[in-house]
Amino acid sequence: MRLALTIQTPEVPVPVPVALLSGTLEEKLQKAARMGANGVEFITTEPASLDVPALRDQLNQHDLLAAAVASGGMAFAAKLTLLNPDPSNAALARKRLNELIALAAALGSQVVTIGSFRGRSVENKERSLHQLAGILHQAGDFAAGYGVEIALEPLNRFEGDLLNNVEQGLAFLKELNHPAVGLLVDTFHVNIEEASWTEPFRQAMAAQKLFHIHLGDNNRLPPGKGLIDFDAILRTLRAIGYTGWLSAELLGKPDPDTAGRQTIDHMTHLMKAIA
Ligand code: LER
Ligand code: MN
């Protein structure tokens, strides 16, 4: 398992509350590496505007990997969603999704996340889920062509009304039946919607759909600053053979650098203890 910190790229027009580290992109990468992260997850709103060769060089220089390309900034900062009732918004969102996939491939990242970027149901939940399935099937084909996977994130009830927990997510994916589309399980959402710290991870893994993990404590502070049993989660992940990313997506409090450092320190400590 490898540790990543989520950061936003410079073109994102507003600060994203769950993006970590301060400074220029170069400074963020330098800090992530010094803190001991293995990679970074990118929140971007204009993937096609990024200088990919330069970014690849910077990652290499700091011995960092691109853990994932996140779509959360699309919804939060660019106000684009895949199920938006405004057809021009939804069309642009779908175009951006393809750009996120191409960016992931160019940066050597295996995963593009879809959480709040899917949007909410329009009038009828079943119809919206059907529409989402169509979009994800197409995106899954597009992603597979690049060797990239899409990780769909169950979101807590206050942030989304389509797929709130892992059981619902797995039922949806069974119906969708696309090998390149799986789940992103975020511990912060687990805390609100699940009945166990560890079962959701076991279930997703048993279905071969545990594609990515977001870390945040129950109060969305760094692991160890709240109530979630990260030790139990890590032991379970090790037992079920999860070898993917643990990517911190949490509030930058008391400041985005301290939150990043506390996350890496605490998770490294727990990982060493079970090694
Ligand atoms: C939002 O709460 C979240 O967890 C993000 O990953 C959604 O895109
Ligand atoms: Mn998340």
* Distance from C-alpha of 168 to C-alpha of 185, rounded to nearest angstrom: 12
> Is the beta carbon of 186 within 6 A of some atom in ligand 1?
yes
Q: Which domain holds residue 190?
A: 2-274
What is the tally of structural domains in the chain?
Answer: 1
Give the number of other CB atoms < 10 A from CB of residue 97: 26
Q: Could you tell me the CA-to-CA distances from 100 to 123, 200, 219 in Å, in that order?
A: 28, 27, 29
202 alpha carbon – ligand 1 mean position (Å): 21
Atom of ligand 1 nearest to the CA of 70: 8
Residue with tokens 């096609």: 48
The reported pLDDT for the residue numbered 275 is 84
* CA–centroid distance, residue 251 to ligand 1 (Å): 11
Q: Is 72 in the pocket of ligand 1 (CB under 6 A)?
A: yes
Q: What is the pLDDT of residue 98?
A: 98
Residue 262 maps to which CATH number?
A: 3.20.20.150
User: Tokens 């969603």 belong to which residue?
Assistant: 81
CB-based contacts of 3, cutoff 8 Å, min separation 6: 36, 37, 38, 39, 245, 246, 247, 248, 263, 264, 267, 268, 271
Which residue lies with its CA nearest to atom 7 of ligand 1?
115
Mean pLDDT of successive 10-residue segments in the chain (275 residues)? 98 97 98 98 96 97 98 97 98 98 98 98 94 98 98 98 98 98 98 98 98 98 98 98 98 98 98 92
Among 155, 18, 29, 34, which Cα is nearest to 73's?
Answer: 18
**Residue whose structure tokens are 């049993």:** 229
For residue 139, the CA-to-ligand 2 centroid distance in Å is 20
Pocket probe for ligand 1: among 16, 118, 163, 214, the residue whose CB has the most ligand atoms within 8 Å is 214
Is the CB of 116 within 6 Å of ligand 1? yes
